[in-house]
Amino acid sequence: MDDFRCSAPALAKWLLERARQNQASGASRCFVACDERRRVVGYYALSAGSMAHEAAPGRIRRNMPDPIPVIVLGRLAVHADRAGQGIGQGLLKDAVLRSLQACGQVGARALLCHAIDEPAKAFYLKHGFIASPIHPLTLMLPFKGAF
């Protein structure tokens, strides 16, 4: 993991400095994709969370309590050498499938993420996420109809 680099240094730093600690404490679960030499080529983290009603788009907040239960996609990053090869899309699909399975047990309305920048926001929008009406880099994918 020590040689993991990506377009956002904060995401690489989190993997190196926080992922194991968060896993051990139960704060989040980190999932990694490795190449044939067992080098990390990408990762994401999931945790439980909630979102205030006013921050959610109408179709997500409709008939939901306040706050709205969500699963948080806390991080998603691909190694710089593997960018543009579909790894991010594969990781996102895996995150959605794991989240759908989890929400069958505990209940959640959407997968929520905080895009680190505008290119990340564009990636999530391309994959069906909806932007928050008050936080432009906060996006949600409603579980109903996901993938």
The catalytic residue positions are 124
- Answer for the pair 20, 94: CB distance below 8 angstroms, yes or no: no
Q: Which residues contact 92 (CB under 8 A, 6 or more apart)?
A: 44, 73, 76, 127
Q: Rounded to whole angstroms, how far apart are CA atoms 94 and 127?
A: 13
**What 3-state class would DSSP assign to 55?**
helix
DSSP string, 80-128: GGGTTSSHHHHHHHHHHHHHHHHHHHH--SEEEEE-SSHHHHHHHHHTT
